[in-house]
Structure 1
């Protein structure tokens, strides 16, 4: 029985290594997508600035502190990114009604439209890549990735 455990451990190590390689490939593709999308929003935009815009769009108006926490990023860098986005008319900063010392960062209509246009090619590619996948397979992958992201055990039901 001890051999089975070692064999299972070895098999698990091989499987995890293969998963790491797949994630590496996926991250390379994702980085390329983010760089292309940033360029479509505004030529020369840094990918991190695009991520900032995307995060504010996804999670709604937020303070710089909340944004820094969500992205695990430096407030100084984020402040510069927000200033750039504001200069492009993609975000606004307004007083926070809860704490007047803070400002809420929100995506403008122009920002939302540019973000949608920038994401469109990637969304088409994802749909095309998964065209032969069943809805159940897509849902299962989503469940598995979520479990991995939060450190949980996937639902096996």
Structure 2
């Protein structure tokens, strides 16, 4: 046995590391739960738009409705998914009367995807139901807490 006393700072550092590890694990668990809830929300929203629509189809459709992505390439990049999956979803959305493919007025060789009035109406209804549930939960928090969460999420996403 050694006559040298244990370094008290070493045990403090170990405790701090363990606390940090526990906190990181908790955030990962909570993000997993949040992502699962989001997936359920997409599934419910997709069913609100059309019973045969898949969650990815709903994401494709909302990208088109919002105008954030109106070409297959833009949708692929926005959703970080593969071309065949987007092609299947666009085909289904077209068959369901929710999307039309039209010539791009700026480039007659290219095609743009446009949401039909039916799609806009149904996506608006699906979003309203989801947003009212989310808004009700978020409104329990202060504006300061919401700003702090938004800042943290922004930092996490970088």
- TM-score under structure 1 normalisation? 0.85
| Shift in alpha-carbon separation, 1:88–1:61, aligned structure 2, 3 A | same
Q: 1:117 aligns with which of 116, 125, 139?
A: 125
> 3-state DSSP class of the match of 1:105?
strand
2:28 paired with 1:23: no
In the alignment, does 2:149 pair up with 1:141? Answer: yes
- Per-residue displacement from partner, 1:33-72 (whole Å, max 9, x unpaired)? 1111100100121111111111223343522112111111
Residue correspondence of structure 1 range 1-157 to structure 2 within 5 A: 1-150=9-158
Q: Deviations over 1:75-129 (max 9, x none)?
A: 1221121121122222221122444332111223221211010122211111221
Give the TM-score of the pair, scaled to structure 2: 0.84
Closer/same/farther in 2, CA of residues 137 and 101 from structure 1, 3 Å limit: same
Q: Distance in 1 between matches of 2:16 and 2:65?
A: 44
- Confirm or deny: 8 A CA contact 1:34 1:50 kept in the other structure: yes
Which residue matches 1:154? none
Counterparts of 1:8 and 1:66, CA distance in 2: 45
Q: Structure 2 CA distance, aligned partners of 1:36 and 1:139?
A: 28
Q: Is the 8 A contact 1:60 1:106 kept in 2?
A: no
**Aligned-partner Cα distance in 2 for 1:2–1:100:** 69
- List alignment gaps of at least 5 residues for structure 1: 151-157
Query: Over aligned residues, Cα RMSD in angstroms?
Result: 1.8
